[in-house]
Every structure is written in C-alpha cells, then in structure tokens.
Amino acid sequence: MANVDLNKIEEAVKMILEAVGEDPNREGLLDTPKRVSKMYAEMFEGLHQDPKEYFQTVFNENHEELVLVKDIPFYSMCEHHLVPFYGKAHVAYIPRNGVVTGLSKLARAVETTARRPQLQERITSTIADSIMEMLNPYGVYVVIEAEHMCMTMRGIKKPGAKTVTAVARGILETDEVKRSEILSFIQMK
C-alpha cells in the first residue's frame, strides 16, 4: 500500500461523481471517495508484488507426475473498463527432478497476478511463465474461466457468458493426451 496515493484516488473519485452529475457532498456519498481509495489499494495491491516470489522456496519430492490445483477462485479488474472479472483458475504442472512448490503458493500467485488492472489472457500466461521460469518443470498448463462484468452489465449484455483462456508450456504444448487428461480432471466434480 506504500506505493498507492490514496488522496489522489479520493480526488479522482470525487471528480467522477461530479462529472456524472452527482453531488459528492450529499450525505450518502461523503465517505465514498475514501472507501473507494482503500478498496482500490486492496484490489490493485498485486501491482507491487511479483508472483515469481512465491516460487522461490521449493521442495524436493520424489514426484514427477502431474500436480493440479483446480478451482482457485480469483477476482480481477478488466484494464479496459475498470470493472471486475472473476472466476476460477486451474493450474497444472509436471515437476522435473522432483522440484515442487507448496500448493498454496499456486493460489497465492494467482491472487497476486489478478490484483492489478488486467486481461484474462495475461493472467493466464503470467502464471504459466512464472512457474516455468522458477520451477523449470517438464510442462505447465493453466486454464482460466471467468465472467466479465464489462460483458454482462454494459455493451452486449450477455450475463452468464464465460471466457476460457488456456496456456500450455513445455511438453504440454505438444502432448494432447496429457492436456485432455488434465481437462478431464478439471471437469471432475
């Protein structure tokens, strides 16, 4: 939060309220700029963190088979409209030489990456590339499904529409059989 200028956000929110024809001095809105500034500091705190940091501590396990953490919930902000998009991330990798990370670290990396003005495509590739770089696994497969408020509350208004992005790295780029195995695990209830 040290790098966030709360006062500047407050000023900006006040200006937006005025610009849309509101009275920022009416009772219900008096504390809104302050509340929004604190909320933005929280929602964008990932800007000041690097997801790769979570993979600095690794373990050595005698395991070179698939690791999949699925249904990781996340909330992000579309960088085109500054409205939320949210959904689930599924992160899979195949460790090399038994180098694995803590399971919760995968979820933390998703959260950190999501808490910035973002694109779903970029969250997906950032997670995949961070794992490739830090753990040097045989392969990574990241699948994200999300609903974008900019598609549901404005513009084409399509509530329920889901966007799916997937990024494969390493052997999972070419191993279709392994990828479909991972997809069937993701779909398993």
Taking the least distance from each CB to Zn ion, the nearer of 1 and 153 is 153
Q: Is 80 a catalytic residue?
A: yes
Residue 63, annotated ligand binder? no
Binding mask 123-162 for Zn ion (x = CB under 5 A): ---------------------------x------------
Residues near 16 by beta carbon (within 8 Å), at least 6 away in sequence: none
**Catalytic residue from among 11, 56, 80, 121:** 80
Q: Which of 80, 154, 158, 162 binds Zn ion (CB under 5 A)?
A: 80
Q: With contacts defined by CB under 5 A, how many residues of the chain interact with Zn ion?
A: 4
CB of 56 to Zn ion, least distance (A): 33
Residue 48, annotated ligand binder? no
Give the strand pairing for 117-118 and 67-78.
parallel
Write the DSSP assignment of 95-132 as a string of letters: -STTEE--HHHHHHHHHHHHSSEE-HHHHHHHHHHHHH
**Residue 81 binds Zn ion (CB under 5 A):** yes
CB of 148 to Zn ion, least distance (A): 6
Residue 91's φ and ψ, nearest 5 degrees, are -120, 120
* Distance between CA atoms of residues 123 and 110, nearest Å: 8
Residue whose C-alpha is closest to residue 93's, from 175, 189, 187, 164: 175
Taking the least distance from each CB to Zn ion, the nearer of 30 and 82 is 82
**Catalytic residue from among 79, 121, 173, 176:** 79
Which residue type sits at 33? P
Residue 150, annotated ligand binder? yes
Q: Is 48 a catalytic residue?
A: no
- Helices within 26-172 (DSSP H only): 32-43, 103-114, 120-135, 149-152
Binding-site residues for Zn(2+) sit at 78, 81, 150
What is the contact surface with Zn ion in residues (CB under 5 A)? Answer: 78, 80-81, 150
